[in-house]
Structure 1
Amino acid sequence: MSEKFAVPTDRSLPRPLVRRVLREEIKEYLIDAILRGRLRPGDRIIEMRIAQDLGVSQTPVREALRDLELLGFVTSAPFRGTRVRAFTHDELVEIYPIRAAIEGVAARAAATRITTEQLLALEEQIDRMREASELGDEATAIEADIAFHHIIVEASGNRLLEQFWTSLSLATTTYLTFSVHRRAIEGLAARHEPILEALRARESDRAEAVMRRHIEEPARWVYAALSRGSVDPPAS
């Protein structure tokens, strides 16, 4: 970690550029920590502690946290500091149709752009889901699920779309990681296979349609579960 965040000693490199690069690396580090559950909804993020852990000053950490607040990953309030954002039930339900639209567009674009290497990476993530489901390893299954969708969003070649997806993925990951039980991973691999098949066939219309269905189906599960009160809300 110290090597990744080490500031170059070359005096010819402008200091503002160094700080900007650090800010982006710290932001990626924190997003990864949140999505992998090392930082949970409601957890406080202390600038000084993050700076010490990464061997940097507090300034780029503060700037990274401001960026994360704009993306919706964290919230900041007087006397409470900065915390990982927690989502209400209503927000979780409302996010799914937005995510279905965004990922449908991503799948359509990816169908004509995706590389052989990316298709192989999607196969690998499906294999991880299947193995994790058999072992009852929810954390790995959810991690593979996120990676699968991220590969497709990256393959779309639309960087703005990728930014939107990243901010929305926090909410859906928060729900999967902390609010659902084993049903979340049962049949998970099989549910992703039609998406891979459509992308392999380079069929844009089909890829968009199967992606939308893929996301809209669990949205109905979420709505039904929340209506019954059978799940706990994310920590706040």
Structure 2
Amino acid sequence: MINKMTRSGAGGISRQSFDQQAADWLRDAIVSGRLTPGQRLTESALADEIGVSRSTTRTALLHLAAEGLVERQAYSGWSVADLSAEDAWELYTLRKGLDGIAARLAAEKIDDEGRQRLRQAFDRIAACCSGSDRVGLAQADVGFHSTIVDLTRHRRLRRQYDMILGATLLYVSNTNIRASREAIAEGHQQICDAICAGDEELAQNLAESHVEEHGIALMTELSKKAESAPALIARI
């Protein structure tokens, strides 16, 4: 249940804060697996569980629908989005472009403060790799790539990346189940080192190959449920 006493300035309870907190609660429930792919959702039941009104719950669900985490079903409410090879292909081909551009621009603009921020983001990944918190590792992973986007100081890129963060978190948490922790740490270490060294071409190549490798691994897994996956993998 979210904190109902969140306030905005001197004016009372912030409705926007409620919407965001409810969206955060739902996102965490989906990424952690408490709400599973394909599961039916009702606004009234979720409102009771989260501790907010149905209208706030509906707004939160609309936020997650925009992120690709839930789908609205005609006449039957909502459902958690299914993981699919097609959706993974769309997300990872888009990420390959965005992450590659971000890594190149970050390497071009990196300064001492940026190096410190990026290394701290990598340290969070390294710390999570030594534990068993799958969601925490996924959050640290996505946070690392999001930090790179911040370092570009590119507002339009930041806005575009924000639109896929929720879906990226969901798919990364599923990709990381199968990847070795050593490989996860090593891959991000290489990207971090290239950006901190200001090597624009290497940073872009590493970021693109990193996304492509994990995208292919995930689509290969999902191919067990979709015959179209091999063709999609060839196009990433």
**Fold similarity call, TM over 0.5:** yes
Instruction: Give the conservation status (yes or no) of the 8 Å contact 1:176–1:184.
Output: no
Establish whether residue 92 from structure 1 lines up as the match of residue 88 from structure 2: yes
Give deviations 1:79-125, integer Å, cap 9, x for gaps.
Answer: 43211111322322343221111111222333325624422322313
TM-aligned CA distance change 1:149 to 1:82, over 3 Å: same
In structure 2, C-alpha distance between the alignment counterparts of 1:9 and 1:220, rounded to whole Å: 44
Structure 2, gaps ≥5 residues long: 227-236
Q: Of residues 192, 195, 200 in structure 2, which corresponds to 1:196? A: 192
Give deviations 1:133-182, integer Å, cap 9, x for gaps.
Answer: xxx765554443233223323444433123233144055236426xx63x
In structure 1, C-alpha distance between the alignment counterparts of 2:219 and 2:61, rounded to whole Å: 31
Q: CA deviation at 1:215?
A: 0.9
Establish whether residue 83 from structure 1 lines up as the match of residue 82 from structure 2: no
**Equivalent pairs: percent with the same residue?**
26
What TM-score, normalized by structure 2, do the two folds share? 0.75
Q: CA deviation at 1:212?
A: 0.5
4+ residue runs of structure 1 moved beyond 6 angstroms?
none
Instruction: Give the conservation status (yes or no) of the 8 Å contact 2:194–2:202.
Output: yes
Structure 1, gaps ≥5 residues long: 232-236
Q: Of residues 189, 194, 204 in structure 2, which corresponds to 1:208? A: 204
Q: CA deviation at 1:22?
A: 2.1
Aligned pair count reads 220
Residue 59 of structure 1 is matched in structure 2 by: 55
TM-aligned CA distance change 1:214 to 1:186, over 3 Å: same
Deviates more, 1:85-94 or 1:192-201: 85-94
Q: CA deviation at 1:69?
A: 1.4
Give the CA RMSD over aligned residues: 3.3
Q: What SS is found at the alignment partner of 1:38?
A: coil
